[in-house]
Chain A
Amino acid sequence: MDEPILSRRAALFGGMCLCCMPALLRAEAAGAPQPAKTAEVSPGIHVRRGAVEDATAANYDAIANLSFIVGRDAVAVIDPGGSVHDGQSLRLAIRAVTQLPIRYVVLSHVHPDHVFGAAAFKEDGVVFVGHAGLPEQLASRGEFYKSGLEKLLGDGQVESVVVPTRLVRDSDELDLGGRVLALTAHKPAHTVADLSVTDKQSGILLTGDLLFVDRIPVLDGDLKGWLAQLAEIRASGVRQAVPGHGPALVPWAAAEDAQRRYLTALLDETRAAIAKGIPIEEAATTVAQSERDKWQLFDSYHGRNVLEAYRRLEWE
């Protein structure tokens, strides 16, 4: 009891007690969301680049590229982020650009780094949009992902997934007022329910995770189907894309070439391993190693891609 309280506070808080800190500083200390840093890659198209990291408590699962597009009357979000915190940061970034209503939130696919920010937009009364197959994906995986994310971010830090109500079976359009977004529901590729968005004004394609740039692609759908979807997108004449991970805007052709090269090596070499009787655990460390120095986080995800490809191809 000899210890003066003030000096203990000083030791803990660098001379400031929490009650004296300005509200903003206090909020920052508690990790309150700040406006996400975004780039306007084309007039009215803003992209928040995801961190090239795995999801952690420190990065709030802000690892995917998130976008918003501003029309004359309204705003559409394409992927609201990996956590409520991430979604709130994006929302603040939108409000720093425009006060127009946020009308649509598009969920490109089921993965947690793209969908768990949706809860941050519920108060805006937005329409959540997704692939017709997405609700089933969210039903079977949502709780599993939520419990995993809670283990990272802490109990109570993750809200339940938001299930889209406007569903796209083949194609659809969203009108933001003088600006129309074309939606395409893809056949199984990166996942079994991928949705992409084309801004008709600029021709820019927002791919969701149909396209990874620099960061190792993750296979969770259909490897052959993914290659087929890439060919279809190429045939549509797209020139620039906002990938699900990587730089905010890339030329389509070069990015697709790199991803196609990886996926083709994964397909061909996994098939060859199965034909030669190479066991799955050995294939995981030998297939497509020529790609190793070409991708970020290769060691974290590539082996799993091989397992995923192998266990499907052995039944083809």
Chain B
Amino acid sequence: MTSRMTSGAKRWIVAGLMAVAFASHAVAEDETAEREARWKDVASNIFGERPMEDGSSMLKLIVPERAMDAALVPVTVELNGDHHIVAVSVVVDNNPSPLAGTFRFGPAFAQNTLKMRVRVNEYTLMHAVAETDDGKLYAVARYVKAAGGCSAPSASMSNDILARLGKMQLRRERSLDPNSIPAQLMISHPNYSGMQQNAAGDYTPARYLEHVSVSVGGTKAFDLDTGISLSEDPAISFTYLAKGDGDIDVKAKDSSDAVFSQHFNALK
């Protein structure tokens, strides 16, 4: 227990991160049962009572076992295999709002790798759930040790954030296939969770991105429905197919109904 406490405690000192040192837990089976019960509950809230199969043949979820910063936990979902995946959801089971995001893919999405950065509020299972074109659901899970990510104070000073609210960047890489372009979309937004205190000690009201849509040459790459589990300044990596003129349009809307949009010219 001591070593667990030490390593669990190691980084909480800095802002934005709170690793919890638990007293020795109940036996492992109880923990497993508890996690499974939680997932059943969360999954039925998000997906109804639809059956869910093991997704390891088509999905790989990569997260750090112990996060360095609970407010910024990098998540990678690799999509592979021959199945046609129409949607992917990322779920942080024990977060107050577990659904970090649901991506619904369009013809301009290259079925490849998705990345995002999430908040983790306590030790938790994370799930990636894929929906295939026949309507079936497939899930994979990983356990993540991190805590405090949703209540960690905003890492930026509020005047910095508001000055660039809604600004976007699209970073693109050249790849061997000029029509299949890896990209990272970054949207400047505090994504306030409602659990963060401000400089007056009050809780900053929740204000977060609800919806992001990306199209290429007028063809949908994906629509994303999201919420407070995404980290501040959301960053989403994906690969798109250069449809039409190859220009990218991004539209985003937050929970205060502010709309942000940006046009990016095709990669020359």
Contact indicator B14/A111 (Cβ below 8 Å): yes
Report the Cα distance A152→B148, complex, angstroms: 14
With A112-B13, A300-B10, A304-B17 already in contact, the answer to whether A139 and B188 are too (CB < 8 A) is: no
- A223: CB under 8 A from chain B? no
Contact indicator B199/A139 (Cβ below 8 Å): yes
Q: In the complex, which residues of chain B have a beta carbon less than 8 angstroms from the beta carbon of A300?
A: 7, 10-11
Contact indicator A220/B188 (Cβ below 8 Å): no
Stretch in B29-37, B69-77, B83-91, B206-214 with 4+ CB within 8 Å of A: B69-77
**Number of A positions contacting B (CB below 8 A):** 41
Contact with B along A246-290 (1 / 0, CB 8 A): 000000000000000000000000000000010111001000000
Smallest CB separation, A294 vs chain B (Å)? 19
Stretch in B46-54, B129-137, B151-159, B244-252 with 4+ CB within 8 Å of A: B151-159
Smallest CB separation, B165 vs chain A (Å)? 12
Chain B stretch 185-232: residues in CB contact (< 8 A) with chain A? 186, 188, 196-201, 232
Contact indicator A315/B201 (Cβ below 8 Å): no
Contact indicator A148/B74 (Cβ below 8 Å): no
- B9: CB under 8 A from chain A? yes
Q: Which of A53, A56, A218 has the most CB of B within 10 A?
A: A56
Contact indicator B74/A279 (Cβ below 8 Å): yes
- A311: CB under 8 A from chain B? yes
Partner of B9 from A111, A152, A308 at Cβ < 8 Å: A152
Q: In the complex, which residues of chain B have a beta carbon less than 8 angstroms from the beta carbon of A136?
A: 199-200
- A93: CB under 8 A from chain B? no
Smallest CB separation, B13 vs chain A (Å)? 6
Residue of B nearest to A61 (CB): B13
Report the Cα distance A57→B17, complex, angstroms: 18
Smallest CB separation, B72 vs chain A (Å)? 5
With A111-B13, A144-B152, A304-B14 already in contact, the answer to whether A315 and B233 are too (CB < 8 A) is: yes
Contact indicator A144/B198 (Cβ below 8 Å): no
- A55: CB under 8 A from chain B? yes
Contact indicator A144/B197 (Cβ below 8 Å): yes
Chain A stretch 287-309: residues in CB contact (< 8 A) with chain B? 297, 300-301, 303-304, 307-308
Query: Interface residue tally of chain B, by bracket?
Result: 35 or more
Q: In the complex, which residues of chain B have a beta carbon less than 8 angstroms from the beta carbon of A53?
A: 6
- B43: CB under 8 A from chain A? no
- B171: CB under 8 A from chain A? yes
Q: In the complex, which residues of chain A have a beta carbon less than 8 angstroms from the beta carbon of B117?
A: 280
Contact indicator A141/B155 (Cβ below 8 Å): no
Number of A-B contacts (CB under 8 A): 116
Contact indicator B198/A301 (Cβ below 8 Å): no
- A206: CB under 8 A from chain B? no
Chain A stretch 32-60: residues in CB contact (< 8 A) with chain B? 53-58
Contact indicator B196/A54 (Cβ below 8 Å): no
Partner of B148 from A56, A57, A144, A297 at Cβ < 8 Å: A144
Partner of A140 from B14, B169, B199 at Cβ < 8 Å: B199
Contact indicator B69/A304 (Cβ below 8 Å): yes
Contact indicator B9/A55 (Cβ below 8 Å): yes
Residue of B nearest to A58 (CB): B2
Contact indicator A139/B14 (Cβ below 8 Å): no
Residue of A nearest to B117 (CB): A280
- A173: CB under 8 A from chain B? no
Partner of A277 from B2, B11, B169, B173 at Cβ < 8 Å: B173
- A200: CB under 8 A from chain B? no
Residue of B nearest to A82 (CB): B13
Chain B stretch 3-25: residues in CB contact (< 8 A) with chain A? 5-7, 9-15, 17-18, 20-21
- A172: CB under 8 A from chain B? no
Contact indicator B10/A143 (Cβ below 8 Å): no
Partner of B198 from A140, A297, A304 at Cβ < 8 Å: A140
Smallest CB separation, B187 vs chain A (Å)? 11
- B263: CB under 8 A from chain A? no
Partner of B153 from A140, A218, A315 at Cβ < 8 Å: A140
Contact indicator A311/B155 (Cβ below 8 Å): yes
Q: Would you list the 7 A-B pairs with minimal beta carbon distance, nearest first?
A: A136-B199, A281-B74, A139-B201, A54-B10, A303-B68, A304-B68, A300-B10
Chain B positions near chain A (C-beta within 8 angstroms) = 2, 5-7, 9-15, 17-18, 20-21, 64, 68-69, 72, 74, 76, 115, 117, 148, 151-157, 164, 169, 171, 173, 182, 184, 186, 188, 196-201, 232-233, 235, 237
**Given contact pairs A140-B199, A220-B15, a sample of 19 additional A-B residue pairs in the complex whose CB atoms are under 8 Å apart:** A54-B9, A54-B13, A57-B5, A58-B2, A113-B13, A137-B199, A140-B197, A141-B197, A143-B197, A144-B15, A144-B151, A277-B182, A297-B10, A301-B10, A303-B68, A314-B186, A315-B169, A315-B186, A315-B233
